[in-house]
């Protein structure tokens, strides 16, 4: 799925350009997640080599297709997890530690992320 950053929407008065988002730039979505309490959808995209979760309202979807190798996991039965469900590459959905390691930008998690991104973009386009 491809999205582009749309400046016309201000999410909770936060200027996300400070995070490196560029107006009109097209980003490849590596994953999506939905939080339990807020029901807000977030996209995982990387800016300057740093994966980050951004609210979907910041973007306009320009390509609706999902990569063939995406996985899906529902967490609604796990009371101590804030995530309701997640779609994305295998390790993100099937390795309970990978999500946190990616947030912490651990080298191994980043390596897995970029290996998957390379594979997805090569097979997607």
With residue 107 as reference, give the H or E element that holds it: helix 107-124
> Minimal CA–CA distance to 91: which of 105, 73, 77, 106?
73
Please, which residues have CB within 8 angstroms of residue 12's CB and are 6 or more apart in sequence?
none
Residues 56-110 have pLDDT tens digits of: 888 888 888 888 889 999 986 767 778 889 999 999 999 989 999 999 999 999 9
Give residue limits of the domains in the chain. Answer: 2-120
The pTM (predicted TM-score) of the whole model is 0.81
With residue 50 as reference, give the H or E element that holds it: strand 50-55
Residues 1-51 have pLDDT tens digits of: 555 565 555 555 666 666 788 878 888 899 999 988 777 888 999 888 889
Q: State whether the Cα torsion 114-118-123-125 is positive or negative.
A: positive
């Amino acid at each position: 799925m491809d999205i582009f950053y749309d400046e016309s929407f201000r999410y909770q008065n936060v200027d996300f350009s400070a995070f490196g988002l560029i107006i009109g730039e097209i980003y490849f979505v590596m994953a999506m997640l939905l939080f339990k309490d807020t029901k807000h959808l977030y996209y995982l995209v990387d800016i300057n080599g740093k994966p980050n979760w951004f609210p979907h309202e910041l973007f306009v979807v320009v390509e609706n297709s999902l990569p063939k190798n995406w996985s899906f996991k529902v967490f609604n039965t796990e009371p101590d997890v804030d995530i309701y469900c997640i779609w994305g590459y295998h390790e993100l959905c099937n390795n309970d530690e990978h999500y946190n390691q990616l947030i912490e930008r651990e080298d191994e998690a980043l390596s897995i992320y970029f290996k998957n991104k390379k594979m997805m973009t090569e097979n997607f386009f």
